[in-house]
């Protein structure tokens, strides 16, 4: 399973768009996070053609991860006649997100939540894992299991030990992790990744670039990879 990225930047990255990814299996789509340009991006690559079910997983409620959510929900309902399904990480997560959507004018009948353990998209399952990022928000990474092939998607976090455990876990094939080159930020500092003993860079895909605007180029010179499928328009 390879995620397709519609953006690779943190909130202040003006070149790479907001970090978000999707996976399409036949007529079903799983979207992970929903930044500002999400709807335009999905339409521009015809990702919404022939879709019958649309699932949305949200790592946390920072604006760069949910700013496009209302537009996607409206479009799916009013143009595609699809009620999107939001994956509930925890009951508190559902309550917070419902409140935000209500405040921006999205009717509750335009979407529904299902608990994460009820999500199964042709054998793909998802398990939220709490991460440390922003003390005032619940923040999650996701363990994805596609018919036995496991990957980990970090969400936003500064917890390098957690990332290290997934990188060193032989059951995990791919680790998508965020990275930054700012010290003392709520993100993973690039030097901390480089300091992991015997790090297997081949299983890591870096994303959510925060700090220098050429960080995505610098990390490739250091031997790291970006996701295989990137569509930033």
Minimum CB distance to Zn ion smaller for 164 or for 208:
208
Q: For residues 114 and 48, what is the distance between their CA atoms, to the nearest angstrom? A: 21
In whole angstroms, the minimum distance from the beta carbon of 137 to Zn ion comes to 8
* Residue recorded with tokens 């060193």: 168
Q: Quick check: 36 binds Zn ion (CB under 5 A)?
A: no
- Round to whole Å and give the CA distance between 130 and 152: 12
Nearest to Zn ion of 22, 146 (CB atom)? 22
> Please, which residues have CB within 8 angstroms of residue 103's CB and are 6 or more apart in sequence?
none
Judged by CB, which is closer to Zn ion: 83, or 227? 227
Question: Does residue number 146 form part of the binding site for Zn ion (CB under 5 A)?
Answer: no
- Judged by CB under 5 A, the residue of 4, 39, 62, 193 near Zn ion is 62
Q: Please, are residues 218 and 191 in contact by the beta-carbon 8 Å criterion?
A: no
**The one segment of 5-13, 49-57, 113-121, 196-204 that binds Zn ion by CB under 5 A:** 5-13
Region near Zn ion per CB under 5 A, out of 45-53, 61-69, 79-87, 158-166? 61-69
Between CA 102 and CA 23 the distance in angstroms is 27
Q: Up-side HSE of residue 1: CA atoms within 13 Å toward CB?
A: 30
Question: What gap in Å lies between CA 179 and CA 159, rounded to an integer?
Answer: 11
Is 80 or 130 the residue whose CB approaches Zn ion more closely?
Answer: 130
Nearer to Zn ion, 64 or 159 (CB): 64
Q: Tell whether residue 159 is a contact of Zn ion (CB under 5 A).
A: no
The binding site for Zn ion (CB under 5 A) comprises: 10, 62, 64, 156
């Amino acid at each position: 399973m390879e995620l397709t990225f519609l953006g690779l930047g943190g909130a202040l990255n003006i070149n790479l768009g907001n970090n978000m990814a999707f996976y399409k299996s036949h007529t079903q789509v799983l979207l992970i996070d929903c930044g500002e340009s999400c709807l335009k991006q999905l339409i521009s690559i015809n990702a919404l053609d022939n879709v019958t079910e649309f699932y949305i997983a949200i790592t946390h409620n920072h604006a760069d991860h949910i700013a496009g959510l209302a537009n996607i929900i409206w479009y799916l309902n009013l143009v595609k006649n699809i009620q999107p399904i939001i994956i509930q990480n925890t009951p508190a997560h559902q309550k917070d997100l419902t409140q935000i959507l209500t405040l921006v004018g999205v009717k509750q009948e335009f979407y529904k939540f299902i608990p994460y353990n009820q999500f199964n998209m042709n054998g793909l399952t998802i398990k939220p894992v709490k991460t440390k990022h922003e003390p005032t928000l619940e923040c999650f990474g996701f363990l994805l299991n596609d018919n036995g092939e496991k990957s980990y998607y970090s969400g936003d976090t500064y917890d390098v030990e957690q990332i290290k455990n997934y990188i060193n876990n032989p059951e995990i094939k791919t680790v998508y992790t965020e990275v930054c080159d700012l010290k003392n930020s709520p993100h993973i500092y690039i030097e901390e990744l480089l300091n992991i003993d015997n790090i297997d860079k081949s299983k890591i895909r870096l994303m959510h670039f925060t700090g220098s605007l050429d960080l995505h180029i610098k990390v490739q010179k250091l031997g790291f990879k970006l996701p295989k499928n990137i569509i930033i328009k």
